[in-house]
Amino acid sequence: MNKRFWPVLTLVAALAVAVRLVLYLLYRPEGLEPDGLGMALLFWHPTLLQDQLPMWWRELMPKIGGYWPPGYALANGLLARVVGDPFVAARVVSAVCAAPLVVFVALTARRLAESDLAGWFAGALMAVAPLSLAWDVRVRPETMFLALYVPAVYFALLYHQNRRRRDLLWATGLAGAAAVVKYEIIVFAPVLAYLWFLHLRARHWRDLPWGVLVGQGWAVALAWMLNNEAARAGDYSQLFTLMMIKQFPLWFALTWLALPVVLTLPVAALAVAGGWEMGRYRLKRPALWLLIYLMFGHVATMAAGYNWTSRYLLILLPWAAVLAGVGLAALPGWRGLRPAVAGLVLALCLVSAVFWVRAERDKWGETVAIGRAVAQLAPAEARVWSDDLYLSPYWAERNLLPLDRLESLQPGDYVLLSDFFGALHFKRRVDDSLKLLRERFDARVIADKTVIYRPLSGEVIDPAELATKPDLRALGPRTFWSRKTPVQARAVLVMLSE
């Protein structure tokens, strides 16, 4: 073993934490003040904070509290009681979790490529990848999840190679812990079941109770999901309908088309080269097939659940980084070529990450402005309807009614319309919704906000495209590859009268 491997890797892991903390301290979305509970509350189950929540949050939280397992919320909650700000606590949790994530991505790449440079490079990619940095800033559980999931896969690979009992138990326990953070670990469950089948077939039955004990996280996640309605694990209610069957191949293919852009093209190219290199050697093919299975499995769940936001692709980033590390090690051994390529790719990723994070500042500006307008202009006793129940209630400081049917509206009501969420939920933009309202009421716009941003780290599909082209087959690959096209987003507050 190279004596420099661990010192260098430790430095890379420390830099991953430091870069995140610097970016997180410099960036706070508009409207989230230091004393606010902030969007971090979206991950807190309501029973954890009943006494601290405003009334409108108490009413809203039961509706969304079951969407995620409790692991990320609990970690945030414990730290928030120390630092006093849930939003800061959530970012510190993600930043700290980046260290073990970087380490185990590096260890996996080093083992598969048999190269220290491959390990350092893969770990450094996780440290500065735009996709990771940009989405962690928005307070999400992905890094905490991956910090448990990647080591579980690493120990699974070790067990498959060495058949050591401790590796299988580590894989089981870490995967169970990951299940308490995100339900997506279900894709890894068949792999774990297969390894336990091999273990028990070798007559190691006495290890089964230990496996059940360390894998209790699986039971916790299942109980949590069932207690909060199984449908909250994902919207798969139409999984076997004709529409789902027709659209699944499109979602699946277009998600793969978006992946090179989301990962950055040099990383994607090195990952393909790494996959090719591993496929040349028989002993490395099982690991390659495992990584391919995990990536295809996660893309399939995204396609089945209509999860097209680039954040969901973050779960593929560790495996792309591992394959990219193998691809770097497979480059010709010309003097200085591999370090030069590694340096250029990492520099590109870091610069891109800074631009991605800055681009996030411009998102949701219209939602913030109109939400605040509701708080200032709509009387407390007035009914306020909205096609956005996800972000607007925070700034509106009240519970909003779901704008499902126009027949429910009455004169005197207020309506908050959003280009983004209107496009998602009803396949129509603000202008289209206003036209429908004005056919029934005297609809006066009392607040109007339009922002233009470039979705460098945002959604794969432009909301306006989604709104104007409900038939997904009409979208085409161009929409998925256009990451610099300015997007115009509008939100309005409307008062209805006779």
Query: Mean pLDDT in each 10-residue stretch from start to end of the chain (498 residues)?
Result: 86 93 68 41 42 47 55 76 72 91 97 95 94 74 93 97 95 96 93 96 92 93 72 46 62 76 87 95 93 93 70 88 96 90 93 76 78 93 88 80 85 91 74 89 93 57 45 45 63 92
What is the Cα–Cα distance from 310 to 410, expressed in whole angstroms?
38
The reported pTM is: 0.81
Whether residue 355 is found in the same domain as residue 457? no
Whether residue 438 is found in the same domain as residue 303? no
What is the token pair recorded at 242? 């004709």
- The one-letter amino acid at 272: V
Whether residue 338 is found in the same domain as residue 447? no
What is the Cα–Cα distance from 76 to 117, expressed in whole angstroms?
35
What is the Cα–Cα distance from 145 to 292, expressed in whole angstroms?
19
Under 8 Å between Cβ of 421 and 459: no
Residue 222's H or E segment, with its range, is helix 216-227
Whether residue 337 is found in the same domain as residue 391? no
Residue 310's H or E segment, with its range, is none
Whether residue 102 is found in the same domain as residue 9? yes
Whether residue 389 is found in the same domain as residue 316? no
Where does a domain end: 327, 360, 393? 360
Where does a domain end: 293, 326, 360? 360
Where does a domain end: 360, 395, 418? 360
What is the Cα–Cα distance from 311 to 136, expressed in whole angstroms?
9
Whether residue 351 is found in the same domain as residue 375? no
Whether residue 300 is found in the same domain as residue 351? yes
Whether residue 374 is found in the same domain as residue 317? no
**pLDDT value of residue 245:** 62
**pLDDT value of residue 422:** 76
Residue span of the structural domain in which 463 resides: 365-497
Whether residue 329 is found in the same domain as residue 392? no
